[in-house]
Amino acid sequence: MPHFSASTIVLLVIVALLFFGPKRLPELGRAVGNTLKEFKKGTREMIAEEELHSPVQLEKENLESKSSGGMER
């Protein structure tokens, strides 16, 4: 992951202000924030689903059902 210095960040903000204007910049910031939030949410859901259907988890469930005599309530 690249490391940005303070001067690089200031330069990017100035360029964004010149390009988009001060009225649209907060709107764009919110849009980027919402996009990142949705991306993280989707990533967490995919990881949770992968863990749920992983071979280790399936084997664990299989062993638990065998040890209980195959009877589930």
On whether residue 13 sits in a domain, the answer given is yes
Which DSSP letter does residue 69 get? T
On whether residue 12 sits in a domain, the answer given is yes
pTM given for the model: 0.53
For position 40, what pLDDT does the model report?
95
On whether residue 1 sits in a domain, the answer given is no
For position 1, what pLDDT does the model report?
62
Q: Which two tokens stand for residue 51?
A: 């863990």
Find the domain containing 41 and state its range: 6-67
- Contact assessment for residue 65 and residue 72, using Cβ atoms and an 8 Å cutoff: yes
Span 33-48, pLDDT tens digits: 999 999 999 999 998 8
Question: How many domains, the chain?
Answer: 1
On whether residue 10 sits in a domain, the answer given is yes
On whether residue 72 sits in a domain, the answer given is no
On whether residue 16 sits in a domain, the answer given is yes
For position 31, what pLDDT does the model report?
93
Helix, strand, or coil here: 1? coil
Would you list the DSSP string of 11-50? HHHHHHHHHH-TTTHHHHHHHHHHHHHHHHHHHHHHHHHH
